[in-house]
């Protein structure tokens, strides 16, 4: 009797670790919850260890389950790379690509790029999740994160795929009503619409200007955790925002918004971020190179 774990069961277990729910995995795969439970039980039997503890309200991965998960990810990555290696004669990448991005950039910029990517490489299966929170790329099973801002995690590889900067802007009506700030520190006396996104310190803006890097603590009556909401409030004249050129570029071009303190900007380049274990993935390389070319061709003006 063959009691070795099956690859598909290992893949199923990794999905269970990501979802933390038998029901969620069953819905995503379009199978019954009973089948998922049966396959995980068989995997536990083959490995002779308990992988999960279940209750009516929660699912917890055991210590042995964590070890199996780490090895399963390596095994599945190696199998995927082996498949890529022996299929290198094919002109296009194939298989699943799970990636994530913040919601605003994901909807407005990344989604059109992925649409073009899907048209070019029909054998590629793309799953995109929009998340306005810090992401555990490895733990959550993502292969690629398209991220604005620098990367701190030592176990990740980052590649700059597009230039970008955050700039200060507001409506002409707001500046006429409140006056234009004459220095970065003067922002403390203005209505600033602050946002809590992945890499932004809430209410603390650091920008580079003529005197180098400066920081100011800002605030105002409005704040949100969504960049599109913040931009809408700025267009409605509620205050000053710090937003990426990709987001406010059209509004600046039309005059709907104008730059505030135009000598100041915050570095916020766009990076493709992926686990170091995937550094030799041909599929990932092709996708990252495609996105880099796409963003280069469609980059907004920073005027």
pLDDT in tens, 209-266: 999 999 999 999 999 988 889 999 999 999 999 999 999 999 999 999 999 999 999 9
- Burial class for 88, CB neighbours closer than 10 Å (0-12, 13-18, 19+): exposed
Ranges in the chain, pLDDT < 50: 1, 303
Cα distances (angstroms) measured from residue 185 to each of 86, 190, 280 = 59, 10, 46
d(CA 287, CA 285): 5
At 98, is the secondary structure helix, strand, or coil?
A: strand
pLDDT at 198: 63
Q: What is the pLDDT of residue 104?
A: 87
Residue 6: per-residue pLDDT: 86
SS3 for 272? strand
- Tell me, what's the pLDDT at 153? 81
pTM value > 0.75: no
Which segments of 182-275 are extended strands (E)? Answer: 194-195, 204-209, 212-217, 223-224, 241-244, 258-259, 266-267, 270-275
Predicted pLDDT of residue 207 = 96
Q: Using an 8 Å Cβ cutoff, are 25 and 36 in contact?
A: yes
Q: Which two tokens stand for residue 140?
A: 């959550």
Helices 282-298 and 111-120: crossing angle, nearest 10°?
120
* 3-state class percentages of the chain: helix first, strand second, coil last, to nearest 5: 45, 25, 35
Query: How far from the centroid of its chain's Cα atoms is residue 268's Cα?
Result: 14
Give long-range contacts, CB 8 A cutoff, 24+ apart: 293-300: 294/113, 294/116, 294/117, 295/109, 295/113, 295/161, 295/162, 295/270, 296/162, 298/109, 298/113, 299/162, 299/163, 300/245, 300/246, 300/249, 300/250
Report d(CA 264, CA 275) in Å as an integer.
33
Output the pLDDT for position 200: 60
So what's the pLDDT on residue 160?
93
Residue 62, Ramachandran bin (φ over 0: left; ψ between -120 and 50: alpha; else beta): beta
pLDDT recorded at residue 132: 82
The pLDDT value given to residue 199: 58
Among residues 137, 134, 67, which one has the least CA distance to residue 98? 137
Query: What are φ and ψ of residue 198, in 5° steps?
Result: -50, -55
Beta bridge pairs of residue 59: 54
Q: What is the pLDDT of residue 303?
A: 46
Rounded Cα gap, residues 186 and 172, in angstroms: 18
Write down the pLDDT at residue 91.
56
């Amino acid at each position: 009797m063959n009691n070795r774990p099956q690859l598909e069961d290992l893949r199923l277990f990794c999905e269970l670790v990501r979802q933390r729910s038998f029901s969620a995995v069953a819905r995503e795969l379009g199978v019954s919850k009973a089948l998922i439970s049966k396959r995980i039980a068989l995997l536990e039997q083959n490995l002779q260890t308990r992988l999960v503890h279940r209750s009516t309200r929660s699912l917890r991965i055991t210590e042995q389950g964590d070890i199996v998960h780490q090895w399963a990810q390596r095994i599945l990555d190696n199998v995927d790379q082996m498949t890529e290696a022996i299929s290198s004669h094919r002109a296009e990448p194939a298989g699943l690509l799970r990636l994530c991005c913040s919601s605003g950039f994901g909807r407005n910029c990344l989604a059109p790029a992925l649409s073009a990517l899907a048209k070019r490489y029909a054998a590629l299966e793309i799953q995109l999740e929009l998340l306005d929170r810090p992401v555990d790329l490895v733990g959550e099973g993502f292969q690629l994160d398209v991220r604005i801002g620098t990367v701190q995690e030592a176990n990740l590889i980052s590649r700059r795929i597009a230039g970008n900067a955050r700039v200060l802007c507001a409506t002409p009506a707001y500046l006429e009503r409140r006056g234009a700030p004459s220095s970065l520190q003067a922002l403390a006396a203005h209505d600033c619409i602050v946002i809590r996104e992945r890499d932004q310190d809430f209410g603390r803006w650091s920008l580079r200007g003529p005197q180098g890097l400066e920081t100011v603590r800002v605030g105002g009556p409005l704040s949100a955790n969504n960049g599109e909401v913040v931009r809408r409030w700025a267009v409605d004249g509620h205050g000053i925002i710090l937003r990426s050129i990709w987001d406010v570029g059209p509004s600046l071009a039309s005059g709907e918004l104008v730059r505030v303190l135009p000598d100041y900007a915050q570095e916020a380049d766009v990076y493709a971020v992926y686990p170091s274990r995937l550094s030799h993935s041909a599929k990932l390389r092709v996708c990252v190179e495609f996105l880099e070319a796409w963003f280069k061709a469609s980059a907004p003006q920073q005027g």
